[in-house]
Amino acid sequence: MVVAAGSGSRLGHAVPKAFVPIAGLPILGHALRGVLSSPGVSEVVVVAPAAHRGEAQDVAAAVCRDVGSHADVTVVVGGAERGDSVAAGLAGLSPEVEIVLVHDAARCLTPVAVVERVVAAVAAGAVAVVPGTAVVDTIKQVDERGLVVATPERSSLRSVQTPQGFRREVLERAHAVSSAATDDAGLVERLGERVLVVDGDARAFKVTTPDDLETAARLLGMPAT
Ligand code: C5P
């Protein structure tokens, strides 16, 4: 599933983030290009804001035509928080799906190779898989006063991205307990299930600020529109 129901207020655009264009294609379209170009993906549920349901369907249909995908694409309406949107997406999956990827539309330049690595690791037996990259900064944990309480060993830290991949049964069990988390792997960790980190990619960064829009446009070789 691709979650695209956030408002993206930090981007400062009138339309929700997933519908802001980069080089002429909405962010959602770029994200779908990556997902639908992966031969392992047979079904995509797009989770969109209610007012953009039709536009999401049109964008998906255009990308399917463009990349020659025959995947089934459906659009459902998201919720107030990201976790609510993922829960809505889960409810929209067809019964036969056993491996589920949860992808942020905002990570719109995620290379197909990352999608395929995640699918392959779940297919090989992992119940939950997240792409991640090593962190370059030393990370401090602080308390509410800003005082440092811990300095985790940097070599053990990973900055995680999407798509995150799961055995469907495990993700559904996690969401049955609670959907409140900044990432779905966090919910699965709370169940005591093992979460595997595979190599992510710098291009899977999340478009959040106007600077990120420019970076994405530059990576696509075109000025932002
Ligand atoms: O807000 P943030 O950038 O962290 O959101 C990550 C992803 O989750 C985005 O692709 C956004 O569209 C999606 N989201 C959602 N429903 C929400 C909030 C965020 O689908 N209520």
When pLDDT is averaged across residues 183-204 and rounded to a whole number, the result is 97
The mean pLDDT value of the chain amounts to: 96
All domains of the chain in start order, with CATH = 2-219 (3.90.550.10)
Contacts of 22 (CB under 8 A, 6+ apart): 30, 108, 207, 213, 216, 217, 220, 222, 224, 225
Nearest atom in ligand 1 to the alpha carbon of residue 206 is: 3
Mutate to test the pocket of ligand 1, among 32, 46, 55, 85 (most ligand atoms within 8 A of CB): 85
Alpha carbon of 103 to those of 134, 144, 150, 163, 197: distances in Å? 20, 31, 31, 4, 15
User: Residues 107-149: pLDDT tens digits?
Assistant: 999 999 999 999 999 999 999 999 999 999 999 999 999 999 9
Contact 32, 44 (CB under 8 A): yes
Query: Kind and range of the H or E element at 172?
Result: helix 168-177
User: Residues 56-79: pLDDT tens digits?
Assistant: 999 999 999 999 999 999 999 999
Nearest atom in ligand 1 to the alpha carbon of residue 16 is: 12
pTM of the predicted model, to two decimals? 0.96
* 206 class by beta-carbon count within 10 Å (0-12 exposed, 13-18 middle, 19+ buried): middle
- Report the pLDDT value the prediction gives residue 8, as an integer from 0 to 100: 86
Judged against a pLDDT cut of 90, whether residue 153 lies above it is answered with: yes
